[in-house]
Amino acid sequence: MSINLNWHGRENTWIVNFFPESSPLKIGIINWWVLEKEDLLIENIEKFVDQNDVTLFYSDEIIYNYALQGFNYNYNELFSLLNRKNVFYIFFDDDFSSIVKPDKNKVLSVPWFFKNPLYIDTNTTIDIEYRPKKFVFNMLCGSIRSYRSILFKVLKDNTQIYSTYYGHPKYKHDNFSNELDESDIVNILQNSKITDTRIDTMVDIYRQGRRYILSHVVPTTIYNNSHFDIVCETFVKDDHIFLSEKTAKPLATGRFFCWHSSSKLRNYLSKFGFSFDTYYNSYDNALDSMTRIDAMLDDVIKISNNQNLVKTIYAHTRHERIHNMEMYKKNFDDFSIKLSQWIELNLK
C-alpha cells in the first residue's frame, strides 16, 4: 500500500483496509480502544497529530479505554484539542457529543454491530408466523451486571423463559440443565474464567469449518424453541447508547424482543431505518434505568403468561420484524462501501 499511514498505538488495525491505495498526505490513525497509558497522555496525542496532515480518530467499541480505570481523564481537554486540529472521527456509539462536540461534518457514527458479522446457521428457523414452541422468551445473560442480576433473579424460575447467566459464578450452572445450549458453547462458557466484571465471549468457535467469535453465533436450538428475546445490553447509561451483537441477533432474524438498554433506543435506531411502532416498549423513553427495568419486566411477565398475546404479537409486529430484518442486512452490507467512501472523501 503506497498510502502514507502513521499509527498512534497498535499497528495493523483493520480499518486500513478501507483506505484508498494512494494519497499525497501523511495520514495518522488513532485507535482509541487499544491505546495504553503512555499513549493516552494528551501531550503525546498532540505530538502525534501535529506530525500528520490529517488524522483519523476512532474507537473499535465505546469511547472508553480500560487503561483509564481509576484515572480522572480529562476528555474535555482532549477533544477540545483534537477539534482544533485536522482530525476526523469514526464512532460506534452514541451519544458522546456532550464531551466530544466535533463538527458533525467530520464524524461518521454508526451502531457497533454494523461492522461485526453474525453467524446464522442454516438450521435456524426464521419464524415470521406463529408456531408452537416450548418457551416464550429466552434471556441469555453474559458478564455480570447489576441489572442483569436483577432480571435473572426475577425471571429465572419462570418456566416460560429459557434463562442462562454464564458470567455469574453463582448462577452459571442454574440454566435449565442447559437443555437447549449447544454443547461446545456450554463447555467454553462453563469453563471460562470469570473476572470481577466479565466473562470472555470473544473466543474463537468453529462452525462449518470456519472460525467465528462465540458471542456472534446465533443460538440455533434456543431460537428454534423460543418465540422472543430478552436483550440485556452491555451498556445502559442514560446518556450513551452502545449496541452490541445482543441487539443485532433478533433484528437479523426477524424476532420480536424486549430490551434493557440505554433510553431512547428506538429513536437512535430509527436513524438507520429500523422501526418499532408495534413493539411493546413503553419503557424506552424513561430516563431512569430502574424505571425501564420495572416496565420491561411487567411486559415480559404479561406476555409470558398469555399464549394468545404471543400470537397477537406475531401478527401485529409481522411487517416491522420483516422490515427490521431487511434493514439489518442492508446496513451491514452497505457498511464497508459507506466507510470506504467516507474515508476517501475526508482523508484525501
Higher pLDDT, 274 or 190: 274
**219 domain residue, yes or no:** yes
Is there a single domain that holds both residue 103 and residue 62?
Answer: yes
pLDDT tens, residue by residue, 33-54: 888 888 888 999 999 999 999 9
144 pLDDT more than 50: yes
Q: How confident is the model at residue 105, as a pLDDT?
A: 86
Is there a single domain that holds both residue 200 and residue 71?
Answer: no
**345 domain residue, yes or no:** no
CB 90 within 8 A of CB 189: no
175 pLDDT more than 70: no
Is there a single domain that holds both residue 182 and residue 304?
Answer: yes
pLDDT tens, residue by residue, 222-272: 999 999 999 999 888 776 788 999 999 999 999 999 999 988 889 999 999
Is there a single domain that holds both residue 218 and residue 301?
Answer: yes
pLDDT band at 12 (very low <50, low <70, confident <90, very high): low
Q: Which of 55-64, 105-114, 136-145 is predicted least confidently?
A: 55-64
Domain carrying residue 306? 135-333
Q: How confident is the model at residue 143, as a pLDDT?
A: 87
**Mean pLDDT of the region 132-145:** 93
For the chain, percent of residues with pLDDT exceeding 70: 90
* pTM (predicted TM-score): 0.91
Domain boundary, last residue among 74, 109, 144 = 109
Q: What is the CATH classification number for the domain harbouring 142? A: 3.40.50
pLDDT tens, residue by residue, 192-236: 666 655 677 777 777 877 777 788 999 999 999 999 999 999 888
